Amino acid sequence: MPHIKPKATPIFQTSVFTFDDLNELELYFEQPGQRYMYSRYANPNSDELANEVNQLEGGVGAIVTSSGMSAILAAILAVCKAGDHVLCAEEIYGGSSSLLTQELSRIGISVTYVPSAETYSFDALVQPTTKLFLAETMSNPLLLVFDIKRLAEETKKHNIKLVIDNTFATPILTKPLSLGADIVIHSVTKYLSGHSDVTAGVVICKSEEDLQRVQKVMLTYGLNLSPFESWLAARGLKTLRLRMKQHCSNAQTIAEFLQQHPKVEQVWYPGLEAHAQHALAEDQGCGMFGGMLSFRIKDNAEAVNRFMQGLEEIPFAPSLAGVSTSISYPLGTSHRALTAEQQQKIGITIGVIRLSVGIEEPEELLTDLERGLSKI
């Protein structure tokens, strides 16, 4: 049989790997990382994805997981145990909030949400058992941009691990580990994979100790990613840099269009000079501002329905970051589990619509948005 050197990585679609004898089995344990035994522990495809993401983020290593939510879970459980306390930014993905408030509280991990005004002055909220601060590079859905370097300085004063969800920004815009974060997480489902056909997550660590703990949690809880989805995500990752440039360019064009539209009451996009953290976003994002934006029309459910029904090309899909543009409705999807008081406090009202801007020709998107807005 001729020597085979494939240009593309093969799919190692197997649950288990074989050994010749007991000697080879012992080498597996004596030389970690040199051999494979069971795909829940490790697989060449998941290792390829982890290594590629780690290179982009600049960590000591990465662990891929079955979803973005399992990545958040692995990161928290790697640091916290029963009796520990977590600080979490008030503006956070609804799934992260539900995990902390509804599930981790059941096993003895408590949470305090840090108001936006106290993001960099949370001393009074720190407890002796506080172990971790969770925040996003850009918040979902209202695009509040966090100063990661400044936040890292504050968490280090209290010996608290800083965990940053970098899903919206991606390492093409921002590398939180280089700014002082300890752990970075992504929903690989979104930009890293990029084609709306994978559900996956990843945790990248600055220290070997944290990495080993995350790996242990992934392995023991069975949070591993399948070989095929690892392969798909690694394939999608190859075009990340190109895709992000177009996502960002299109989002800027659309944000400027919506900002001047008479039927749009507010636009949240860091690329607009009116955005409160525009200068920070420009510096921290290397001159790019991401592919996500939100806007508000009148706070009337029927108006939202008419807008959605008026769109012919842009679908209503409660996820984000695919190559095709889509809209979502935070009040009814990602932040549905929040109380009405919490929703109002962070500004998620009836008329707020989140737009995940794809890589199509921008003129097509503007035409469809105008079509939808004309129905209001």
Find where tokens 């690694």 sit: 234
Among this protein's residues, is 40 annotated catalytic? yes
First to last CA, the chain: 67
Give catalytic status of residue 123 as yes or no. Answer: no
C-alpha atoms less than 13 angstroms from C-alpha of 360 in its C-beta half-sphere:
17
Which residue among the candidates 165, 213, 296, 354 is catalytic per the annotation? 165
Which member of 47, 93, 131, 296 is catalytic?
93
- β-pairing, 61-65 with 201-205? antiparallel
Q: Which of 35, 40, 306, 375 is catalytic?
A: 40
Residue with tokens 């100790």: 209
- Using DSSP, how many helices (H) and how many strands (E) does the chain show? 13, 11
Helices (H), 63-166: 68-79, 94-98, 148-157
Strand order in the sheet with 110-114: 61-65, 201-205, 183-187, 161-165, 130-136, 85-89, 110-114
State the DSSP H helix or E strand holding residue 201, giving kind and residue range, or none if neither. Answer: strand 201-205
Q: What 3-state DSSP class applies to 321?
A: coil
**Residue 28 known to be catalytic:** no
Residue 241 bears catalytic tag? no
Given the residues 131, 161, 175, 190, the one annotated as active site: 190
Neighbours of 274 (CB within 10 A): 11
Enumerate the active-site residues.
40, 93, 165, 190
